[in-house]
């Protein structure tokens, strides 16, 4: 279990780093680095791009966890329903 978490973390870090580098290249090409102001703009845009990518992965992870929770809850409710029917038969 711990290995799968570590693998997932490294995959996420690699993807975030790749998208961040892509964003940096795009913003550097789009805005340019001729002046200090443009360098600051590239830096700000790159940080915001990185935050957006990290937030996206967080949101997808939360949706996946919620889906697993709902699926697990469905199984628990089915088991509970079966147990209640068995209990009703016994009474």
75-91 pLDDT, tens digit each: 899 999 998 998 888 87
Note the pLDDT tens digit of each residue in 4-47.
Answer: 777 677 777 777 777 778 877 887 777 777 888 888 888 888 78
Cα–Cα distance between 35 and 1 in angstroms, integer? 49
Q: How far is CA 4 from CA 27, 28, 44, in A?
A: 34, 36, 34
Residues 6+ apart with CB under 8 A from 91: none
Q: For the chain, give every domain's residue range.
A: 2-90
- What's the pTM value of the predicted model, to 2 decimals? 0.58
* Rg of the chain taking only CA atoms, in angstroms: 24
């Amino acid at each position: 279990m711990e290995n799968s978490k570590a693998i997932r973390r490294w995959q996420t870090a690699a993807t975030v780093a790749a998208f961040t580098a892509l964003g940096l290249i795009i913003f550097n090409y789009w805005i340019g680095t001729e002046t200090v102001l443009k360098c600051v703009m590239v830096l700000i845009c790159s940080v915001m791009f990185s935050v957006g990518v990290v937030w996206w992965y967080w949101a997808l992870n939360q949706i996946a966890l919620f889906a697993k929770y709902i699926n697990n809850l469905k199984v628990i409710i089915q088991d509970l329903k079966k147990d209640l029917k068995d209990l009703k038969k016994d009474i």
